[in-house]
């Protein structure tokens, strides 16, 4: 499928994330070493993102009262550009690269991904990759001069029998797919969003990923696998939208 170019792409945020098989222990000095390499590119104020998970354990013996365990991971550090539209994040065995609206285009985004990845490899020295994911969050805005029929804009949408009310006040649909030729997963989420005056807004979220559990992916193969994911993400996006939607993006 030909790669389409849009003058007004709907991308609210694009995120590339790598998970690594560690080669050395992660410590609090690692983010600082990484920042020293990217500080000329990301001159905004660094910030810390804490992650807290709650785990429930149920005993098989009465009384079956759950035990609640709160787990706090080591923090992730985010380094933004001066205008906060471009970011990189590092955490334990984790690197993420973000592009916010206005989307810079894949050529520039992939260049930033490559540079951030090389800096991370120099500092953290992982032995391989356990997961690559590429996520595109698209915000599609439609005029509501008349009732909006989702089927005119996307090829995946909620459908209901005639016996139910036809007016939809809110919706979320989520579909998880696995490609047959290679073990790549695609998660498609379509939902409504906070409307604007005179407009209808919905979110088309595509998250494509591949995981290596038994044997990590070698570092030399990372970029070729990433570009394969991008190709499939682009094909999926074009398959899910209609020509009427493409007109909203000023297709070239």
What is each CA distance from 173 to 12, 98, 187, 205, 247, in whole angstroms? 19, 24, 10, 10, 24
Model confidence at 90, pLDDT cuts 50, 70, 90, reads very high
Model confidence at 53, pLDDT cuts 50, 70, 90, reads very low
Note whether 139 and 216 are same-domain residues.
yes
Q: Given a cut of 80, is residue 179 above it in pLDDT?
A: yes
**Dihedral pair phi/psi, residue 195, rounded to 5°:** -75, 155
- Could you give the number of structural domains in the chain? 2
Tokens of 63: 């009384």
Residue that terminates a domain, selected from 110, 125, 140:
125
Note whether 134 and 234 are same-domain residues.
yes
Domain that residue 191 falls in: 1-15+127-252
- Answer whether 49's CB lies under 8 Å from 155's CB: no
CA distance 233 to 240: 11
Considering Cα of 101, then 226, then 49, then 116, what sign does the dihedral take? negative
* Residue pLDDT, tens place only, 182-213: 999 999 999 988 877 888 899 999 999 999 98
Note whether 117 and 183 are same-domain residues.
no
Burial of 65 (0-12, 13-18, 19+ CB in 10 A): exposed
pLDDT at 127: 94
pLDDT at 140: 94
CA distance 102 to 3: 19
Q: 30 by DSSP, 3-state: which? A: helix
Q: 143 by DSSP, 3-state: which? A: strand
**Dihedral pair phi/psi, residue 231, rounded to 5°:** -60, -45
Burial of 33 (0-12, 13-18, 19+ CB in 10 A): middle
Note whether 43 and 1 are same-domain residues.
no
Give 164's contacts (C-beta < 8 A, 6+ positions apart). none
Q: Given a cut of 50, is residue 134 above it in pLDDT?
A: yes
Model confidence at 168, pLDDT cuts 50, 70, 90, reads low
Burial of 126 (0-12, 13-18, 19+ CB in 10 A): buried
Note whether 78 and 198 are same-domain residues.
no
When mean pLDDT is compared across 50-54, 117-121, 155-159, 229-233, the lowest value belongs to 50-54
Mean of the pLDDT values across residues 230-245? 96
pLDDT at 38: 96
Note whether 134 and 118 are same-domain residues.
no
Give 71's contacts (C-beta < 8 A, 6+ positions apart). 52, 53, 54, 55
Q: Given a cut of 50, is residue 96 above it in pLDDT?
A: yes
Note whether 106 and 96 are same-domain residues.
yes
pTM for this predicted structure: 0.87
When mean pLDDT is compared across 41-55, 76-90, 94-108, 223-237, the lowest value belongs to 41-55
What is each CA distance from 252 to 67, 72, 111, 142, in whole angstroms? 57, 47, 23, 19
Note whether 41 and 98 are same-domain residues.
yes
pLDDT at 194: 83
* Residue pLDDT, tens place only, 102-125: 999 999 999 999 999 999 999 999
pLDDT at 138: 97
Note whether 168 and 86 are same-domain residues.
no
pLDDT at 56: 47
Note whether 53 and 98 are same-domain residues.
yes
């Amino acid at each position: 499928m030909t790669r389409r170019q849009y003058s007004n792409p709907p991308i609210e945020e694009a995120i590339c994330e790598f998970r690594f098989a560690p080669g050395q222990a992660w410590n609090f000095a690692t983010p600082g070493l990484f920042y020293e390499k990217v500080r000329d590119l990301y001159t905004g104020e660094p910030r810390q993102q804490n992650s807290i998970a709650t785990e429930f354990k149920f005993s098989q013996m009465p009384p079956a009262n759950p035990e609640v365990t709160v787990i706090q991971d080591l923090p992730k550090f985010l380094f933004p550009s001066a205008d906060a539209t471009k970011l990189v994040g590092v955490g334990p065995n984790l690197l993420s690269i973000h592009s916010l609206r206005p989307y810079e285009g894949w050529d520039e985004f992939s260049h930033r991904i490559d540079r951030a990845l090389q800096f991370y490899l120099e500092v953290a020295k992982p032995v391989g990759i356990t997961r690559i994911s590429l996520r595109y969050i698209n915000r599609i805005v439609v005029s509501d001069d008349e009732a909006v029929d989702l089927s005119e804009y996307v090829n995946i949408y909620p459908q209901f029998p005639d016996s139910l009310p036809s007016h939809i006040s809110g919706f979320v649909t989520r579909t998880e797919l696995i490609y047959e030729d290679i073990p790549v997963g695609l998660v498609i989420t379509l939902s409504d969003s906070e409307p604007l005056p005179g407009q209808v807004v919905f979110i088309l979220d595509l998250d494509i990923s591949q995981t290596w559990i038994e044997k990590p992916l070698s570092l030399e193969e990372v970029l070729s696998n990433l570009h394969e994911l991008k190709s499939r993400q682009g094909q999926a996006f074009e398959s899910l939208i209609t020509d009427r939607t493409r007109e909203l993006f000023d297709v070239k």
